[in-house]
Amino acid sequence: MKFLLAGDTALVMEFGNAIDPAVNAQVAAVAAKLAETPLPGVREILPTFRSLLIEYDPAVLSVCKLKRVLRSYAAHADANAGGTYRVVHIPVCYQQEFAPDLEDVAALHNLSADEVVALHSQKEYLIYMLGFLPGFAYLGGMDERLITPRLANPRTKIPAGSVGIGGEQTGIYPIASPGGWRLIGRTPLRPYDPGRETPFLYKAGDYIKFDPVDANTYRQIEREVEAGSYQVMTEVKSWG
């Protein structure tokens, strides 16, 4: 663990050099402690794969005191033992109208489309961090059998909610944007909605579970989301 100054109002706390669930769990644990026990002078905390950026007011909080508190939090943070984690369920329609690249992904791996869907939806994916776009979750844990190269020619516009595979990663495009990932499904949920009280459906340290739905269910959920009546399913699970 080491500290790096990021200008005169931010401090980076590095926990390791690799993208690793254990390292990320330490990041999440210290971030959670800072959120649960606000430290006067701390303005914002930004967790990443392997580090935590803390923006602070040096007129209120000295960098030396901030380091002491962070070291204490890290020393006492046991991210997994006896703790819990949250799983956010994301309904996804993998049918052709929402999955233009599903058949290609299946063919590349000598799998059927149904096998791709089964492999993709059976896992709980750790959210390492949010970035790139508002609400874009960098997920870990995809089955190695689904590792697929990005498109040679990226699309200029991908619909919001599209679920794709890019290399070793899978994820959801929270808003319409260009992109080169292979699209294998779409969710009717809005991972990012600035009009909600809580704009993001999930945070770093949560897990995502993709739940297959048919097109009729997709449209029903879409209507409920539009009306503001849809309740996102979440679970709290214990490490064990």
How confident is the model at residue 78, as a pLDDT? 57
Segment 133-150, tens digit of pLDDT:
888 999 988 999 999 999
Band of residue 45 on the pLDDT scale cut at 50, 70, 90: very high
Distance of alpha carbon 12 from alpha carbon 67, whole angstroms: 10
Question: Which stretch of DSSP H or E encloses residue 125?
Answer: strand 124-130
**What pLDDT is recorded for position 28?**
85
For the chain, give the mean pLDDT.
92
* Residue 153, CA atoms < 13 Å, CB-side half-sphere: 0
pLDDT digits 0-9 by tens, 154-174: 999 999 999 999 999 999 999
Question: Does residue 14 register a pLDDT over 80?
Answer: yes
pLDDT band at 239 (very low <50, low <70, confident <90, very high): low
Instruction: Map residue 69 onto helix, strand or coil.
Output: helix
Residue 11 in this model has a pLDDT that exceeds 90? yes
Token couple for 76: 């006492």
Q: What is the mean pLDDT of residues 108-135?
A: 94
Strands 234-238 and 84-93: antiparallel
For residue 184, what pLDDT band results from cuts at 50, 70 and 90?
very high
Q: Quick check: 80 pLDDT over 50?
A: no
Q: Does the model's pTM come out above 0.75? A: yes
